[in-house]
Structure 1
Amino acid sequence: MLKYSLGIDISKKDFHACLSVINTCQEVNVKASRKFPNHTEGFRELCTWITKHRKESNIPLCITMEATGVYFEACALYLFKSGHKVSVVLPNKAKQYLKALGLKTKNDKIDASGLARMGAQQNLENWEPLDDFFYSLRALTRHHQSLQELKTNIKNQLHADMHSIYSSKAVIKQLKKLVATLDKQIEETAAAISKHISGNKEVAAKTDKIQQIKGIGIITIATVLAETNGFALFSSIPQLVSYAGYDVEENQSGSRKGKTRISKKGNSRIRRCLHLPAFNVVRYNMGDFRPFYERILSRHNQKMKAYVAVQKKLLVLIYTLWKKNEDFNPPAQTTEEEIFINEEMEPSFALARQSQINSPDERG
């Protein structure tokens, strides 16, 4: 026997667990499966159940679960604190793996078994929880984003009602009040984010250095830090680029060459928060962002592709300043990091060979 593998298919109310073993011949056999409630008592029952069926305690156990919204986090955290090695995979990655197995039927029990097989056969990255500071920061930044999205929807509705042939003054009045309320809540949330960051001297000092880049504000920096746990999980730029979904996908077969695009298989909140700052750094001619933008634009003749390249470059710059704890110094930015991002929209086979960290947040 080589190792035990536990697959967990989790939902809001409960989760299915499947315990399998893989032997030296790479054969995977199911030992037991069971359904548990998705709360603390269920997690305790799961640990007892694992101990009961894990006959050889000296043989390693790997646990694999799907990143199902936020419903997986409590279980993953409990297992992590219990000393287990947990891997969390993106839903699309798990789906493609199960599809490759040729399974025609789909239910929670089968999904759990498939995740157990996936964990047994693949060397997945271990999941680690965020620091408490960044969990709180993430709650604030995500709430701020939700308020912004809600405000945009209400303003669109207000615009439509104001220009409708049969508009209602009562509806327009209420919508205007709702927009004013949302503006106030957005302002209060932004203030809470600033206060939370200033409460940690080390984070505040590093954030102030990153804010020297004109065009990038505290909300953008806070969002990037919250979604990456202060870059604690990353040891290289390719890992971060892949996590944010900026890694390049090549579409080529034989003599046919399709379009080369970023994968977008990563944390969409990071890409969203860097959208406007990319415009700003080019507009304010910060560092060499404008020449870089113009170089990519002349090569591909697509403005948005050039701005996406700027987003990626900006993310790498934030990461570099954070890790090195340095001030923003434009002339000093031509480094190995710059070499890596110079060919933004070209295929990078080296990137594909790097260890990639799966983001538990591909929810749009």
Structure 2
Amino acid sequence: MNKGSYREMFSHIGIDVSKEKLDVGWLRDTASNKVKTKVFKNQKQSFEVLAAWVLKNTKAEPQHILITLEATGVYHENLAYFLHQQGFKVMVANPGKAKQYARAIGLVHKTDKLDALMLAHYGMAQSNAGQLTLWEPEAPEVRHLKGLLRRLDALEKDHQRELNRLEACEQTDTSPRVLESINNVLDTLQKEISALEQEIDDHIDRHPPLRKNRRLLSSIKGVGPVVSREMTCLFAGRVFVSAKQVAAYLGLIPRQVESGKFKGCTRLSKSGPARLRAKLYMAAVVAGTHNLDIKDQKQRLLKQGKNKMQALGAAMRKLVQICYGVIKHQQEYRPQASMQVSA
């Protein structure tokens, strides 16, 4: 992503993306609050029609049109790539920040049409404030890696479901044929998971920047093959300016919770990718035993009266901060705790 002061005049378009359709909103005249909307199917063959509609109505060149989308899983990605290739300025808004903006401007009713117009207004506000972050496509090798990791995650979930079914069947009078079928599926899934893991490792090794970053991440106690793959992909695909920003993206920032009898409690925000957060959870459990820095932090927090879950949340956050540090400085991890002891 590129951040800069884009204060030039744009025609502002917002697109609310769902699995089936694209609701497009154009701020035709902000002074008189005139708008124009259109709905298209979320299919590749509809993208050219959408682009033609935008160009015809705005009568502007693509580079003078800012199109703001909201990140919606994977459903916005093909459109973002297409629009960028056509020369449009594209901003992919953080859903949380877009929601905050909607509340700030007093958007009470929620429809796909209104969401599209809200996104157009949000893009205009970011542009006018000189805070516009334009979306840039990922490198092909990063996009390929992300696709492989998504597929691996899907297979692992299928494998776990079959394990759950096997466990349930073993507790009941289940037909031997059913058990055979489940075991056959488990064998097939395990073979495919192993093959995909090998392909991911080979893909990372073929690209020196990815290979180096994974080696650096693997130097951290608690970061094993699973987390090193995921964090390599994360840092290759997104630009972060601080460790705190990474933690916020992953939903690891504590937030105050006060309700009824619960006073002064803190919980993780849990925004962002839950899939990666779950993997970091297991890594933090291991790091709490084997990583000196995280182990020391855990013991210190428990002595201060924090409960085990709060200490574990802090461990996840610390682990992410360490990951960010080794990537930023391109140096292997050196435990601060051991350095203090040797000093």
**TM-score exceeds 0.5:** yes
Q: Are the aligned partners of 2:227 and 2:279 in contact in 1 as well (CA < 8 Å)?
A: yes
Match in the other structure for 2:226: 219
Q: Are the aligned partners of 2:66 and 2:123 in contact in 1 as well (CA < 8 Å)?
A: yes
Q: Distance in 1 between matches of 2:69 and 2:169?
A: 46
Q: Which amino acid aligns with 1:17?
A: V
Match in the other structure for 2:275: 269
Q: Distance in 2 between matches of 1:168 and 1:159?
A: 14
Secondary structure of the corresponding residue to residue 282 of structure 1: helix
Q: Distance in 2 between matches of 1:209 and 1:146?
A: 27
The reply on whether 1:148 has 2:156 as its aligned counterpart is yes
Counterpart of 2:303 (choices 257, 275, 298) is 298
> Percent identity among equivalent residues?
30
Q: Are the aligned partners of 2:91 and 2:134 in contact in 1 as well (CA < 8 Å)?
A: yes
Counterpart of 2:83 (choices 79, 82, 92) is 79
Query: Cα gap change, 1:55/1:137 in structure 2, threshold over 3 Å: closer, same or farther?
Result: closer
Q: Are the aligned partners of 2:287 and 2:295 in contact in 1 as well (CA < 8 Å)?
A: yes
Counterpart of 2:315 (choices 310, 315, 334) is 310
* Structural RMSD (CA): 3.0
Query: Cα gap change, 1:217/1:53 in structure 2, threshold over 3 Å: closer, same or farther?
Result: same
The reply on whether 1:70 has 2:74 as its aligned counterpart is yes
Secondary structure of the corresponding residue to residue 260 of structure 1: strand
Q: Are the aligned partners of 2:296 and 2:337 in contact in 1 as well (CA < 8 Å)?
A: no
Q: Distance in 1 between matches of 2:19 and 2:54?
A: 21
The reply on whether 1:210 has 2:217 as its aligned counterpart is yes
Query: Cα gap change, 1:174/1:278 in structure 2, threshold over 3 Å: closer, same or farther?
Result: same
Quote the offset at 1:197 in angstroms. Answer: 0.8
Q: Deviations over 1:58-111 (max 9, x none)?
A: 99543222223312111111122233222223455545655663443x443233
Match in the other structure for 1:345: none
Match in the other structure for 1:111: 115
Query: Cα gap change, 1:57/1:78 in structure 2, threshold over 3 Å: closer, same or farther?
Result: closer
The reply on whether 1:161 has 2:169 as its aligned counterpart is yes
> Where does 1:30-179 land on structure 2 (aligned, <5 Å)?
30-55=34-59, 61-91=65-95, 94=98, 97-98=101-102, 101-104=106-109, 106-122=110-126, 123=131, 125-164=133-172, 166-179=173-186
Q: Are the aligned partners of 1:4 and 1:22 in contact in 2 as well (CA < 8 Å)?
A: no
Secondary structure of the corresponding residue to residue 274 of structure 1: helix
Quote the offset at 1:237 in angstroms. Answer: 1.7
Secondary structure of the corresponding residue to residue 183 of structure 1: helix
Q: Distance in 1 between matches of 2:235 and 2:220?
A: 21
Q: Distance in 1 between matches of 2:75 and 2:48?
A: 17
> Where does 1:321-332 land on structure 2 (aligned, <5 Å)?
321-331=326-336
Secondary structure of the corresponding residue to residue 297 of structure 1: helix
The reply on whether 1:12 has 2:19 as its aligned counterpart is yes
Match in the other structure for 2:249: 243
> Where does 1:181-196 land on structure 2 (aligned, <5 Å)?
181-196=188-203
Q: Distance in 2 between matches of 1:276 and 1:252?
A: 28
Q: Are the aligned partners of 1:67 and 1:89 in contact in 2 as well (CA < 8 Å)?
A: yes
The reply on whether 1:289 has 2:297 as its aligned counterpart is no
Q: Deviations over 1:43-70 (max 9, x none)?
A: 2233332233325669954322222331
Q: Distance in 1 between matches of 2:164 and 2:258?
A: 41
Query: Cα gap change, 1:95/1:303 in structure 2, threshold over 3 Å: closer, same or farther?
Result: same
Which structure is higher in helix share?
Answer: 2
Q: Are the aligned partners of 2:213 and 2:232 in contact in 1 as well (CA < 8 Å)?
A: no
Task: Flag structure 1 segments of 5+ consecutive residues without an equivalent.
Answer: 336-364
Query: Cα gap change, 1:7/1:322 in structure 2, threshold over 3 Å: closer, same or farther?
Result: same
Query: Cα gap change, 1:75/1:314 in structure 2, threshold over 3 Å: closer, same or farther?
Result: same
Match in the other structure for 1:356: none
Counterpart of 2:324 (choices 316, 319, 324) is 319
TM-score, structure 1 as length reference: 0.79
Secondary structure of the corresponding residue to residue 18 of structure 1: strand
| More deviation, 275-284/190-199 | 275-284
Q: Distance in 2 between matches of 1:319 and 1:283?
A: 21
Q: Deviations over 1:183-217 (max 9, x none)?
A: 21221111111111111123212322321223322
Q: Are the aligned partners of 1:194 and 1:218 in contact in 2 as well (CA < 8 Å)?
A: no
Give the number of equivalent residue pairs: 326
Secondary structure of the corresponding residue to residue 37 of structure 2: strand
Query: Cα gap change, 1:40/1:180 in structure 2, threshold over 3 Å: closer, same or farther?
Result: closer
Secondary structure of the corresponding residue to residue 33 of structure 1: strand
Q: Are the aligned partners of 1:22 and 1:120 in contact in 2 as well (CA < 8 Å)?
A: no
